[in-house]
Chains A and B, each alone.
Chain A
Amino acid sequence: MSAPRTATRIVLAPPGRLNVPRWRELWEAREIFYRFGVRDIVLRYRQTAIGVAWVVLQPLVTAAIFAIVFGRVAGLPTGGVPYFLFAFAGTAAWTVFSGVLTRAAPSLVANQALVSKVFFPRVVVPLSTMLSVLLDFVVSLALFVVLLAINGVNPGWAVLGLPLWTLCALALGSGLGLAASAIMVKYRDVTYILPWLVQVLMYATPVAYSLDAVPAGLSWWFEANPLTWLMECFRWAMLGTPGPPGWQVAGLLAVSAVALVGGLLVFQRREREFADLI
C-alpha cells in the first residue's frame, strides 16, 4: 500500500493582511469557472418558450428604444452614423461592463450554500459571470455585423482594437464586481445601491448619445469619466468614428488594470471570512 502523495504540502495559517491568491489553485479551478459559466447560460434559457432568441431580442429592443428616445425624440447628433447602429454599438459595449458588474456582485450571496460548505477559490464565483456576458456580447456582435452590412458602414482597421477594449470592459466590470460581491457578503445594502448606481453611471456616460451632445460646460466632467473613454474606444472600433485622444486610451488601460487588481485585493482580503459571515 503506497500512499498517494502530491509534491506540495498545503500549509494553512491565520490570514495575513495581504492575501495574494494561490495561482496554482486558481488554475486548477478553471473547470469550476467553466461549469459555473455553462450553468448560468443553460439556466437562463431553459424552460423559456423562445429560448436563445432572447439573446438576440434583448439588444435589438434596447437599441431601438434608445434610437427612438435619443435619436427621434431628443434629436441628438451622432456624427453621421445611423442612430440605431450608434445606440446598438453603445449598449452592446455598455452591457459587457454593466453585465459583469451586476451579475458578479450578487454571485457570492446567491451561492452561499456552496461558499459555506465547499472549498474552492471563491474568486471563481464572481469571475465566472464573465462567460455568459461574453456569450451575449458575441451574439450581439454577430448581429451588429449584419446591421453594418445593411447600413453600408465599415469601421476599417480600428476594428482590430475591439478585443482589447472588450478586455478593458471585462476588467473594469469584474474589478468593481469582485469588490462589490465581497462587500455584499457582509453588507447586503449593496443589493439596493448597485442597480441604482449602474443606472446613474449609464446616464453619466455617453452610451446612447455621443459626446457632441454634451453641453460645453459639462464636457470636462464627461471627459474625466473612464467609462467615457471606454465607450469612445468601443465606438472607434465598432463604427469607425474618430478615436479618443491618446491619453484617454492610456488612461483606460491603466484604470482597467487598477480596477481589476484593486478588486481582486479587496476580494482576497475578505475571502477567508466569507464562510463565517455569509
Chain B
Amino acid sequence: MNSTADSPPDTAISTRGLAKSYRIATSGRSHDRLSEALVARVRHPFRRREFETFDALHDISFDIPWGEAVGIVGRNGAGKSTLLKILTRITAPSGGRVELGGRVGSLLEVGTGFHPELTGRENIYLNGSLLGMGRNEIRRRFDDIVRFSGVEKFLDTPVKRYSSGMYVRLAFSVAAHLETEILAIDEVLAVGDAEFQRKSLDKMRDVAKDGRAVLYVSHQMQTVTTLCTSAMFLDRGRLVHHGSVDDVMTAYRDSFEDWRARQVDADRRPGTGELRLARVDTDEVRDPADDTVVTFEVGANPEIVGKYFVSCHVVDHHGAVVAQCDSRLVSQWFDPSEPRRGELRIKNLWLKPGTYTIDAFLCQNGIFDGWRGAAAFEVLPHLPYPALVMDEGVELGAVFADFDYEAW
C-alpha cells in the first residue's frame, strides 16, 4: 500500500505537528450579541477584531499502534482533554494533521445523551447510536449491555425514576459495549461501586487485548498503571514524554517533584533558617476517610530562647489551604535545644479524591522555616459513604463530611 515515511498506515492513531489554539478576544472586543457585532462592524468597518491566541496544544506528534492502551497524564490545563476532544473529533485542530485508523468511540462523560424521560430501552438505542453504533450492532449487543448493567427489571421505566447507581451503570454499559476500533475514555472509570469498577476495568483491558486501541485520560496514577500499556505525559500543551507507563510516571512525578525537590534544599526555603525541618513524611496514598498523619523531624539550635510551634497546612492541587493545623491551638510547643521528632494526626478530615501537599512551618516570633510542598499524598477516588450517587451528589463542597440523616 501507499505507506509514507512519516505516517505508517498500520497505526491506530498518528499525529504530526498537531496544534490547537483558541482565540481569546481581548477586553471588550467580543460580541456575544448580533446587534453588538453589527454596530461594531458599522462603526469600524475595516478594523479586524483583536485577539490573543492561547495555545492549548503545541506541535504534538505521536504514533499509537493497535492493541495499546495509552494513558494520558498531566496536570490540570496541560491539554489532555483538548487532545482527546480533537482525537474524538469533537473539535477541530488548528494546525497539523491526525490520522485515525478507524472509528473513535468516546466515553467522555457517562450519561451524556441519556434523556430522563425516555425508558432504559429507548436510551440504550439513542445513546448507542450517538456513540456510533448501527441499529444491528445495538440489537446484537443489547442483551450484553442489559446484563452488564444489571437493570433488567427496569428496562421499560423512564430513567428519571432510576436510582443514580442504576443510571450510571446503564450509561457506562452502553459505552463499554462500543465496538469502535479506537476508544477514548476521560476519567469515567471512577463511577459505580468497587465491584462495578473492577468489571469496567476488565472490560477496558479486553478492548486493548482485542487489538483495538484505548486512550485513557486521568489524574489517577493508579488506574493508568493498572490499565495502560504505554503512556503520554503532557505539560503546558506539549508532549513531554511518550513511552512505557513506568517511564512516563517517573517523568510525571519528577516534574511534579521538581519544584518540591528544590524545596528539600533548606537553603532555598524562606524563613530565617535559625531552625530547619529535616524531614516531613506522610503516607502517599489513602482513602478519603483515613486519618492524615504527618511525621516530621526538626534540627536543634540551643541559641534560640524559648519554645517554637509547628504549623502544617493541607493544600489541594489548586493551591487552596484545606486545613491549617497550628500546634499552638492544641497547646503543643517544642523545645529547640535538641533535635525533635513529632507527629501530626488530623482526625475526621475527609478529603476529596485528588493530590494534596503539606506545607510545614516552624515559627516563633517570625518564621524559622517555611517548607511548601514538604510532603505529598493522593486521596483515592473512593466514596466514604455506604451508598452511591451521581457526580452531582458529591461534586460540591471542598471536603467530604461525616454526616447522617434521620427521619422523624
Chain A interfacial positions (CB closer than 8 Å to B): 1-6, 9-15, 28, 31-32, 34-36, 38-39, 42-43, 46-47, 113-114, 116-120, 183, 186-190, 272-273, 275-276
Contact = CB atoms under 8 A, between A and B. Distances in A.
B118 A42 contact: yes
A117 B131 CA distance: 10
Given A12-B93, A43-B115, A276-B91, A4 B102 contact: yes
Contacts of A36: 126
Which 8 pairs show the lowest CB-CB distances between chains A and B? A3-B66, A272-B92, A3-B211, A12-B98, A31-B129, A119-B89, A187-B34, A189-B34
Nearest to B18: A12
Contact of A6 (B33, B181, B209): B181
A39 B114 CA distance: 11
Contacts of B102: 4-6, 10
B237 to A, nearest CB: 16
Given A1-B209, A5-B101, A39-B118, A15 B92 contact: yes
Q: How large is the interface on B (under 10, 10 to 19, 20 to 34, 35 or more residues)?
A: 35 or more
B85 A275 contact: yes
Contact of B90 (A13, A38, A119, A188): A119
B95 interface: yes
A187 B37 contact: yes
B226 interface: no
Nearest to B134: A31
Nearest to B208: A1
Contacts of A47: 117
B67 interface: yes
Interface stretch (B104-112, B141-149, B299-307): B104-112
B110 to A, nearest CB: 10
B130 A32 contact: yes
Given A1-B209, A118-B113, A187-B34, A9 B90 contact: no
Contact of B9 (A1, A9, A35, A187): A9
Interface of B: 9-10, 12, 22, 32-35, 37, 66-67, 85-86, 88-104, 106, 108-109, 112-113, 115, 117-118, 122, 125-126, 129-135, 158, 181, 209-212
A1 B209 CA distance: 8
A190 B32 CA distance: 12
Contacts of A273: 91-92
B122 A1 contact: no
B104 to A, nearest CB: 7
Nearest to B132: A120
Contacts of A39: 115, 118, 122, 126
Contacts of A187: 32-34, 37
Contacts of A9: 9, 99-101
B91 A275 contact: yes
B217 to A, nearest CB: 13
A1 B211 contact: yes
A117 B211 contact: no
Nearest to A8: B102
A189 B33 CA distance: 6
A114 B112 contact: yes
A118 to B, nearest CB: 5
29 contacts: A3-B67, A9-B100, A10-B99, A10-B100, A12-B93, A12-B98, A12-B99, A12-B100, A13-B97, A14-B94, A14-B95, A39-B115, A39-B118, A39-B126, A42-B118, A43-B115, A43-B117, A113-B112, A114-B112, A116-B90, A119-B89, A119-B90, A119-B104, A187-B32, A188-B33, A189-B33, A190-B34, A272-B92, A276-B91
